[in-house]
A and B are shown apart, each in its own frame.
Chain A
């Protein structure tokens, strides 16, 4: 099973917590909104990705199965 990070851009406020926790998969644009890698989360980053999902202040980040 592969998982991919998804952001609900309507809920997202651009706190940027996610990009700090998983910089390997999430960057920020010039306005502070996340730009997500269009690729499945590699096994070694799963723990970090889950943590980012839990810690998003707006609960805008999620992991979806593909």
Chain B
């Protein structure tokens, strides 16, 4: 199927339909299109929409795999555990009804009678979403019961199986079984990202052909990018999937100083060199670099900041975010972070050799993708910062420079997984 990109008017789709109240929402997008529910899975499949939480899994296929089984459930994943991401929080604040519409329509299409919106604790988002839900009930808008849940603010608690487990009254730790098979209380559960549901709300109204006017043939539509680091105007920008890295930086008003790399996708994403900014930022466009679009995170690293030290900070934090379930993860990630620290700080060649071996051993061996994300991130640092590695290993470590990547405080030991 071809993507008639030339017809896309360049206007944001999600961010141009902001509405705090249900009345404003009605004016922006019209009523909830319940008549399309029987065809919704086919429409979403035809639209080519892929999940915006980071996995880019085809949404229509995911919905179809939950459809037709008993006792289904829908979870809107607004956890946004990636520290450098802000798009889901923003979308829930600016257009909560678009997200909730998508969730309602998806629930009706797969035959689920309950929806839970999962958001981070302590952000005030839960109250915001609850008042949007109350607004809908008062207006007689929608018919599926929606509630809000606040899983603990840990990185791996954003993972779909962890969110579903928590909503079902269990711990917010990743599980071996997919939520589609055994999610909330063991029910087949559709867990999708906040932004994905918002796109579904628009596909239901304007159709798959409209959706495909933006983006690439393999990954149609627009996506929310959270751009930060050395750009003049950090923020969340909605752009068609497949725009170049240069365009993304230009939209954020360009870089205020020379940059040495771009972090793409998040802390489970990859560093790429500035020479690759011409590439289309889409799953397929970034795959040759071993990178992925992930949750749409783009961080420009100032050249005066040491990429190795930034990698150490993130890798150590990610190692501490393990759910302590799988040996290769809770043993392997701290070992990998330590190796990298010994390269950056102590110029250790032995650590470098050991690290390269360990990356191969740990990859793919956890129940969830957490260890794989760290392996990808660290591996990309070895490639993108190859020159810096050589300099550090030859006994010339750099002063480090200003810190760029946000490192949230670790949850207290006492804060458990419930």
Q: Give the B-binding residues of A (Cβ under 8 A).
A: 8-10, 12-14, 29-33, 35
Contact = CB atoms under 8 A, between A and B. Distances in A.
Given A33-B365, A35-B361, A9 B326 contact: yes
B336 to A, nearest CB: 12
Given A29-B361, A30-B361, A35-B361, A10 B367 contact: yes
Given A9-B325, A10-B175, A10-B176, A31 B365 contact: no
Interface string B308-326: 0000000000000000011
B331 A31 contact: yes
B327 interface: yes
Interface in B156-208: 175-176
A10 B358 CA distance: 20
Contacts of A30: 358, 361
Interface in B266-286: none
A45 to B, nearest CB: 22
Nearest to B358: A30
A35 B327 CA distance: 11
Given A8-B176, A31-B332, A14 B365 contact: no
Given A9-B326, A9-B367, A35-B365, 11 more contacts: A8-B176, A9-B365, A10-B325, A10-B326, A12-B326, A13-B327, A30-B361, A31-B331, A33-B331, A33-B365, A35-B361
A14 B326 CA distance: 10
A13 B326 CA distance: 8
A50 B391 CA distance: 51
A9 B366 contact: yes
Contacts of B367: 8-10
Contacts, number: 38
Give the secondary structure class of B's interface. loop
7 contacts: A9-B176, A9-B329, A29-B327, A29-B361, A31-B328, A32-B327, A33-B326
B165 to A, nearest CB: 12
A12 B329 CA distance: 12
Nearest to A29: B361
B31 to A, nearest CB: 45
Interface string B246-280: 00000000000000000000000000000000000
Contacts of B175: 10
Nearest to B175: A10
A30 B327 CA distance: 11
Interface in B325-369: 325-329, 331-332, 358, 361, 365-367
Contacts of A12: 326-327
